[in-house]
């Protein structure tokens, strides 16, 4: 049986606020992000830019959060949403795990 699609991930229910620009911290270039995107590489300088506005609030209350995002990813995304040093560390770990998964 397939899981019902999360309303927050259903792009048909997204409004105009679901797409926005985030400035590269190194060169200032504006990158377009969708609210569910974690990161993008800057076209101007090649720096990895993290989406600090990524919408993951549902992971804090949704009973299906671990099933949807995976237990480790859900926890890291929650830490990333906290901001500051916890955010930086969590985003770095997520990036490392994604790169390891792609290499496998």
Q: What is the pTM of this model?
A: 0.56
**Is the CB of residue 39 less than 8 Å from the CB of residue 95?**
yes
| Alpha-helical regions (H) of 40-70 | 58-61, 65-69
pLDDT tens profile 64-99: 767 766 666 666 666 666 665 666 666 666 666 666
91, 50 Cβ separation under 8 angstroms: yes
pLDDT of residue 24: 94
Determine the pLDDT at residue 37.
Answer: 83
DSSP secondary structure letter of residue 102: H
Q: Tell me: the pLDDT tens digits for 13-68?
A: 778 888 999 999 999 999 999 887 878 999 999 998 888 777 666 666 777 767 76
Give the three-state DSSP class for 31.
Answer: strand
Contact call for residues 31 and 40 (beta carbons, < 8 A): yes
């Amino acid at each position: 049986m397939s899981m019902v699609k999360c309303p927050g991930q259903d792009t048909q229910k997204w409004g105009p606020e679901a797409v926005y620009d985030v400035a590269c911290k190194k060169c200032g270039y504006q990158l377009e992000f969708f609210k569910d995107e974690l990161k993008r590489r800057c076209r101007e300088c090649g720096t990895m830019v993290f989406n600090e506005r990524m919408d993951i609030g549902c992971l804090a209350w949704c009973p299906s959060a671990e099933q949807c995002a995976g237990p480790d990813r859900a926890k890291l995304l929650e830490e990333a949403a906290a901001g500051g040093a916890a955010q930086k560390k969590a985003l770095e770990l997520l990036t490392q795990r994604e790169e390891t998964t792609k290499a496998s």
